[in-house]
C-alpha cells in the first residue's frame, strides 16, 4: 500500500509465513513483490540472535529498495 502512495516499503516475515506473504502479494496484484525473510521463531530468541536477524533483514531490504 505504501508503494501505491510512492513510498518505498519493506515487508519482513519469518520463513514459515513466506507462502502467506506470497499469496497476499498475488491477491494485491503484485505477485513479484519482494520481501525480507528471516529465520523463525523470533519471540524466543536472545537479543544477539534478534540482532542477527535484523541485520539480515536490513541487508535484504537495502538490496530490494535500492533496486527500485
pLDDT in tens, 34-55: 999 999 999 999 999 999 999 9
CA 62 to CA 4: how far, in whole Å?
A: 19
- Residue 25 has a pLDDT of 92
- Start-end of H helices in 1-68: 18-27, 47-67
Domain extent at residue 56: 3-67
The residue ranking higher by pLDDT, 2 or 21, is 21
37: nearest Cα among 26, 22, 27: 22
What is the total count of domains within the chain? 1
- The pTM of this model reads 0.83
- Residue 40 has a pLDDT of 96
The residue ranking higher by pLDDT, 65 or 56, is 56
Amino acid at each position: 500500500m505504501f508503494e501505491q502512495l510512492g513510498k518505498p516499503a519493506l515487508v519482513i516475515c519469518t520463513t514459515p509465513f513466506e507462502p502467506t506473504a506470497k499469496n497476499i502479494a498475488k491477491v494485491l496484484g503484485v505477485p513479484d513483490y519482494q520481501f525480507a525473510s528471516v529465520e523463525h521463531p523470533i519471540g524466543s530468541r536472545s537479543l544477539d540472535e534478534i540482532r542477527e536477524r535484523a541485520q539480515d533483514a536490513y541487508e535484504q531490504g537495502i538490496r530490494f529498495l535500492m533496486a527500485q
